Structure 1
Amino acid sequence: MFERFTKAARAVVKGAVDHAERDGATVVTKDHLLLALLDREDTRASAALRSLCPPERRPSLIAALADARRRAGLSRADTKALADLGIDVGAIVARVEETHGAGALAGDRKDSGWWSGRQSFSREAKTVLEKSLRVALARKDREIGDEHILLALTMTGGVVAEALADHGVTYASVEAAVAGPTAL
Structure 2
Amino acid sequence: MFERFTASARSAVVDAQAEAREVGDRRIEPAHLLGALARQGAGDGLLARHGITYEAVRREIARVGDGALDAEALASLGVDLDAVRARAEATFGDGALERAGRRGGHLRFTRASKAVLENALRVTVAGRGREIGALQVLASVLRVDDPRTEAVLVAVCDDPAALRADVERAVAGRAA
Q: TM-score, normalised by structure 1?
A: 0.65
Fraction of identical pairs, as percent = 29
Alpha-carbon distance change, 156 to 9 in structure 1, aligned in 2, over 3 angstroms: same
Alpha-carbon distance change, 104 to 88 in structure 1, aligned in 2, over 3 angstroms: farther
In the other structure, the counterpart of 2:144 is 156
Q: Distance in 2 between matches of 1:89 and 1:33?
A: 33
Partner-residue secondary structure (3-state), 1:143 = coil
Q: Distance in 2 between matches of 1:26 and 1:17?
A: 9
Q: Do the aligned residues in 2 keep the contact of 1:70 with 1:104 (CA within 8 Å)?
A: no
Q: Distance in 1 between matches of 2:58 and 2:115?
A: 21
Q: Write out aligned runs for 1:17-166 (5 A).
A: 17-41=17-41, 43=42, 45-55=43-53, 59-69=55-65, 72=68, 93=81, 109-110=101-102, 114=105, 118-157=106-145, 158-165=147-154
Give the deviation of 1:94 after TM superposition: 5.1
Alpha-carbon distance change, 164 to 176 in structure 1, aligned in 2, over 3 angstroms: farther
Deviation larger for 130-139 or 170-179: 170-179
Q: Do the aligned residues in 1 keep the contact of 2:121 with 2:132 (CA within 8 Å)?
A: yes
| CA RMSD in angstroms, aligned pairs only | 3.7
Q: Distance in 1 between matches of 2:31 and 2:143?
A: 14
- Matched pairs, number: 163
Alpha-carbon distance change, 97 to 180 in structure 1, aligned in 2, over 3 angstroms: same
Q: Distance in 2 between matches of 1:120 and 1:138?
A: 28
Give the deviation of 1:12 after TM superposition: 0.6
Amino acid at match of 1:22: E
Give the deviation of 1:38 after TM superposition: 0.9
Give the deviation of 1:23 after TM superposition: 3.3
Q: Distance in 2 between matches of 1:61 and 1:90?
A: 29
Alpha-carbon distance change, 71 to 174 in structure 1, aligned in 2, over 3 angstroms: same
Structure 1: gaps of 5 or more residues? none
Q: TM-score, normalised by structure 2?
A: 0.68
Partner-residue secondary structure (3-state), 1:10 = helix
Q: Do the aligned residues in 2 keep the contact of 1:20 with 1:26 (CA within 8 Å)?
A: yes
Give the deviation of 1:173 after TM superposition: 2.7
